[in-house]
Every structure is written in C-alpha cells, then in structure tokens.
C-alpha cells in the first residue's frame, strides 16, 4: 500500500517527534474531553463594550475567570510572555502565557522542561488547546486571557497554510474544505448563513401548516424532472436502482394518500454537467398543497423569499448582487413579484412575437446563436423552440424577481393544461419559473391529476427516452396507479437550496455554498 505524500514532509516528521516527546512526559496529547465555561464568540460579544482591568489585575486573579478552547493560529514569544491567538469556529481571541504563572496540565514538575519551554517548543500552529485564566485588556484595548493553565487537547501533525499566502488555490480550498474553514473564517460565516436559511425555510413551512416528510433516495423508476439519472445496483434484491432526480413523485403519492400539505428538503442527483450553477448532487426543497393552484404557489413563493430576507437582513432588500455579466444590482424580493407569460416576455425583452412566427422562422432565429447545436434545433417541437427562444434572449433581462408563467406543454409532462380554453388549445400549461439576476430560482405547477392525460404524456416521454433522449422519463406505472386512485387539485413547488444560498450570500459559484463540491480526481488531473 502506497503512503500519502505528507508522510515524507519534514514538518510532519518534526511533529511526530514532538508527539512522542509529549507522550514521554506523561501527557496524553488526545484526551477524551474538556469542559470550557464559554465559547470564544460568546466572550467577545459579552465583553465587547465592557471596560476591563489590566495585566496586573489579571495576573493577581482579580478579573473575570474563563475557560476556553480553540486552535492555535498565532504563536509568538516576547521575553517572559508568549502571545497566541486561538480560534474556535470563525472567532479568535488573544491569550497570554507567562513564564512564572502559566502551568501545563499533567506536566511533571520534577522534569527539566519548564511549562514555558513546553509551550514554546512543543506546541505548534494548528494544535488545539484548552486555557483557563483571567480576562484583561492590553494597552491597545485587545481582549486577552491571562492564562493560568493550559491543556493540550489535540496535537496536530500537519501545519496550517502560511498565514500570509494562505490556502489561495480555489480547487485546493474546495478539496480541503476543513483547511479552508480554518484559514478563511468568512467561509464559515457563509455556511452558518446556509444553516440559518434552512432553519427559516422550515419555520415558514411550519407556519403555513406543511408537514415535513422524508422519501426514498433510491428508486426503481426515476421521474419528476428532465435529467439523466445515476444508476446503482442493490445486491440484496439483485436489481438496478436509480438515485432520485427529483422529490416530486413520492410527495404526490402522499398527497393521494390524504396528506394535505407536505414538503421535503433533501438531496437530488442528476448526471449532468458541472458549472457555476450546477452540481450533480444538490439540495432541493419541494412542497405540495392540496386544493392550491399555481397562483397560490406564486403567493407562497414570493412570501417565502420575503420572509427569509427579513429574518436574515431585517429588510426585503438583500443587498447588491452581480448578474452573469458582472453588473451589480440592488435586489428587493418584496412581494408582489412581476408576473408575465413566457410568450409575452419574449415579445417584451427580445422583440420577437412567437405567435406570428412559423416553426421554421423560429429555427432560423435560433440558428444564428452559435451556442446551439443545429441538429438539436431541427428536432425541436414548437413548444421547445419557444422555450429555447426564452432561454437565449430573455433570461438575462430578468434581474429583479419575476415569475415567468404559462409554459408550453412540451417542457413538462406533469403539469395541468391551462384553464383558459384558448391557451389550452395552444398547449400552454399552468407552470411558472421564478427568476432573479437572470437565473432560475424555482419551478412550480398546477399539478396534473388527470390519469389518462398523465399516461399519454409519460408515454410520450418514454418514446423520447427509447429514441435516445437521456433526459426523458420512463413510464412509472406505480405513479400512474396512484393518480388513478385520485389526487385532489394540487399546487407544487421546487426550489434549489444551493442557488437560493448563492443569492442570499452573494456567491457567484455553487461550489462556494457546498461544503464538499464534487471535484475531478486528482490522479486524473495529473494524467491529463
């Protein structure tokens, strides 16, 4: 078995030597527990506006006592004192070790190595320690702990990145997110905000009487979106399985079963490309409400975004955000959002009246876009041509929140035909997508509950799949049976959590809001 590269690093070998020396002193470098009285962040907040006594009073133990823990991120000797910074999460505090008054827990007093020398010679950046002592402010006003006792909680064997150059390579930061979090505390704030967003999404759904559920990730038949699936094999039952491409199908079965409002936050997997807004594994929230239509869902959606903004920023304005071209805009998610049909948006933003064009004329317009494959254009139906015109000429203009409503039926097999008979004849369905900064941020329908039409549309999808369309859906007989049992009128919504977090944090790449984004294998990179 080959050894990792870092086994040969001089710093790793030096730390191994220190580790053995620490053990020889009778100190356990990896104790089971530690009991701090405070977290660093809490101490910083508690004392940020308080006056404190100085060094002499802390040395005499006349100031407030604290016990903290954290990772050493700065360490410098200054005569009889050693100044250090310890970091816990994204917060740091200065600590002071004194030659005469700071002890090391479990260090034998009869050894030649003093506590001060131990702290100076055996501790390294990256080590995790516990400190007990008394608070004071330096002459410059910095909150500091005068440490009376130090406990080694974890001896690190690999160094932190250089404090000046740091971990600057983006790919390395994504691969080694744990080091990224240590070196760049602002990254931790992004993920704290992600957690806060999820908590508030759950609060909003609870306020609206939705029940959170969990449905299977492994499926015998995939559906609910136009996407190629990941496949796997279940040994116990000798059968091939798929990782779900959407949450939709299982949630609709629960609506059939009698739950009136359900939602799920979960992982979804699509075997597709990777770019600034796509990762093959992503987090989605989907909800379904009996007796709602897409108008109800629009009100619910804009209400959700406004609620999140006010909970996080205190206002419906989420700040200045960059569009795909790098232009900045102040985004306000206050309801109501702009509502416009797909056909009218093409007329407004692209000056193209789809209803006056033949299919061939639409193809001629799209052929001029060099990014579109000519063979694909030739195969597109009228509805798909309309959707493609929208994608190519309109999306970039949708900066402030928009709902693009009334889509062609070819864009989805799971949506109800429009209630307006004239629009229904043209194959328009009651679907909307939300857009902010030119990016799609949600997808919703008045859900199809006609079992005969549902079968017809899924059979058409299956024919596309058999003809080679990898993103088409197969027939799902179990789902069709459930719809035959009777599904009430229903409104459904899907939101990509990762894109929502990107919007609220101002990040331009989905990788910056994923803890561990999917990366190419490093061995493959070397071979290339």
- Rg of the chain over Cα atoms, rounded to whole angstroms, equals 30
pLDDT-derived band at 308 (thresholds 50, 70, 90) equals very high
Residues 324 and 471 in one domain: yes
Same domain, 75 and 12: yes
Contact at 8 Å (CB) between 128 and 88?
Answer: no
Considering the domain boundaries, does residue 344 fall inside one? no
In degrees rounded to 5, what are phi and psi of residue 357? -110, 145
Please state, in angstroms and as integers, the Cα–Cα distance from residue 284 to each residue in 21, 195, 269, 338, 444, following that order. 50, 14, 10, 24, 13
The residue among 296, 294, 292, 212 whose CA lies nearest residue 247 is 212
Task: Taking residues 60-85, report their average pLDDT.
Answer: 95
Q: How far apart are the first and last CA of the chain?
A: 24
Q: What is the pLDDT of residue 526?
A: 44
- Does residue 524 have a pLDDT over 50? no
Same domain, 224 and 279: yes
Q: Quick one: 65 and 134 in the same domain?
A: yes
CATH number for the domain spanning 239: value is: 3.30.930.10
Tell me the three state secondary structure of residue 189. helix
> How many residues appear in the chain?
528
Residue 105 scores a pLDDT above 90: yes
Q: Are 209 and 136 members of one domain?
A: no
Identify whether residues 75 and 219 lie together within a single domain.
no
458 assigned to some structural domain? yes
The pLDDT assigned to 281 comes to 96
120 shares a domain with 260: no
Q: Indicate the residue among 160, 195, 220 that finishes a domain.
A: 160
**Separation of alpha carbons 388 and 4, rounded Å:** 49
Say how far residue 34 (Cα) sits from the centre of its chain: 31
Among 128, 160, 192, the domain boundary falls at 160
User: Is there a cis peptide before residue 456, judged by omega within 30 degrees of 0?
Assistant: no
Query: Which residue among 126, 160, 194 closes a domain?
Result: 160
415 secondary structure, DSSP code: B
25 and 132 share a domain?
A: yes
Give percent of the chain with pLDDT exceeding 90.
85
Tokens of 315: 């206002």
Nearest C-alpha neighbor of 434 from the set 344, 314, 340: 340
In a domain, 153, yes or no: yes
Q: What is the pLDDT of residue 163?
A: 58
112/196 same-domain check = no
Strands 281-290 and 317-322: unpaired
Residue 525 pLDDT level (bands cut at 50, 70, 90) = very low
Q: Does some domain include residue 203?
A: yes
pLDDT at site 167: 65
- The whole-angstrom separation of Cα 405 and Cα 446 is 11
**What are the backbone dihedrals phi and psi of residue 100, each rounded to the nearest 5 degrees, phi first?**
-95, -20
Phi, psi angle pair for 271, to nearest 5° = -85, 75
Contact (CB, 8 A) for 295 and 336? no
Whether the pLDDT of residue 395 is over 70: the answer is yes
- Whether residue 175 lies inside any domain: the answer is no
Residues 6+ apart with CB under 8 A from 523: none
Residue 360 falls within a domain, yes or no? no
Residue 460 lies in a domain: yes
Among the ranges given (166-170, 480-484, 510-514), the one the predictor scored with the smallest mean pLDDT: 166-170
Q: Are residues 151 and 254 in the same domain?
A: no
Give how many domains the chain has, as a whole number.
2
* 517 within some domain: yes
Structural domain boundaries enclosing 462 = 183-337+400-527
Q: What is the CATH number of the domain that holds 35?
A: 2.40.50.140
Task: Examine the domain organization and report whether 147 and 195 are in the same domain.
Answer: no
Residue 170: per-residue pLDDT? 84
- Do 302 and 410 lie in a common domain? yes
């Amino acid at each position: 078995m080959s050894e990792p590269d870092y086994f040969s690093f001089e710093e790793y070998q030096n730390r191994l030597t220190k580790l053995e020396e620490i053990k020889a002193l009778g100190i356990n470098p990896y104790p089971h527990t530690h009991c701090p009285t405070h977290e660093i962040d809490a101490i910083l907040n508690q004392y940020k506006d308080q006056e404190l006594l100085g060094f002499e009073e802390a040395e005499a133990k006349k100031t407030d006592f604290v016990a903290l823990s954290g990772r050493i991120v700065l360490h410098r000797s200054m005569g009889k004192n050693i100044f250090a910074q310890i970091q816990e999460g994204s917060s740091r505090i200065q600590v002071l070790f004194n030659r005469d008054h700071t002890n090391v827990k479990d260090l034998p007093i009869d050894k030649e190595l003093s506590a001060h020398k131990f702290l100076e010679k055996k501790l390294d950046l990256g080590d995790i320690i516990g400190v007990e002592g008394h608070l004071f402010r330096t002459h410059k006003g910095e909150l500091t702990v005068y440490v009376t006792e130090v406990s080694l909680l974890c001896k690190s064997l690999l160094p932190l990145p250089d404090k000046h150059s740091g971990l600057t390579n983006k790919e390395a930061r994504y691969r080694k997110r744990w080091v990224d979090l240590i070196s760049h505390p602002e990254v931790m704030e992004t993920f704290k905000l992600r957690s806060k967003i999820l908590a508030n999404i759950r609060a909003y759904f609870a306020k609206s009487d939705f029940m959170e559920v969990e449905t299977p990730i492994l499926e015998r038949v995939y559906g609910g979106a136009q996407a190629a699936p990941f496949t796997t094999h279940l040994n116990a039952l000798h059968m091939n399985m798929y990782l779900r491409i959407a949450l939709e199908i299982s949630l609709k079965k629960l609506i059939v079963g009698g739950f009136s409002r359900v939602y799920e936050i979960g992982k979804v997997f699509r075997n597709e490309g990777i770019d600034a807004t796509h990762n093959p594994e992503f987090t989605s929230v989907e909800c379904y409400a009996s007796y709602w239509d897409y108008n109800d869902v629009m009100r619910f959606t804009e209400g959700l975004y406004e609620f999140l903004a006010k909970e996080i920023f205190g206002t419906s304005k989420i700040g200045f955000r960059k569009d795909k071209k790098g232009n900045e805009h102040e985004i306000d998610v206050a309801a109501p959002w702009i509502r416009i049909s797909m056909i009218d948006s093409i007329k407004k933003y692209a000056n193209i009246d789809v209803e006056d064009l033949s299919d061939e004329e639409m193809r001629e317009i799209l052929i001029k876009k060099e990014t579109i494959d000519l063979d694909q254009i030739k195969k597109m139906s009228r509805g798909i041509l309309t959707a493609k015109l929208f994608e190519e000429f309109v999306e970039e203009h949708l900066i402030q929140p928009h709902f693009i409503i009334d889509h062609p039926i070819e864009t989805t097999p799971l949506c109800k035909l429009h209630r307006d008979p004239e629009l229904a004849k043209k194959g328009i369905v009651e679907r909307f997508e939300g857009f902010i900064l030119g990016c799609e941020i949600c997808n919703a329908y008045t859900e199809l509950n006609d079992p005969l039409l549902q079968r017809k549309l899924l059979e058409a999808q299956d024919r596309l799949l058999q003809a080679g369309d990898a993103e088409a859906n197969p027939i799902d007989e179990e789902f069709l049976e459930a719809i035959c049992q009777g599904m009430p009128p229903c409104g459904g919504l899907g939101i990509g959590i990762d894109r929502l977090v990107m919007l609220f944090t101002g990040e331009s790449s989905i990788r910056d809001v994923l803890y561990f984004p999917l990366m190419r294998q490093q061995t493959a990179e070397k071979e290339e």
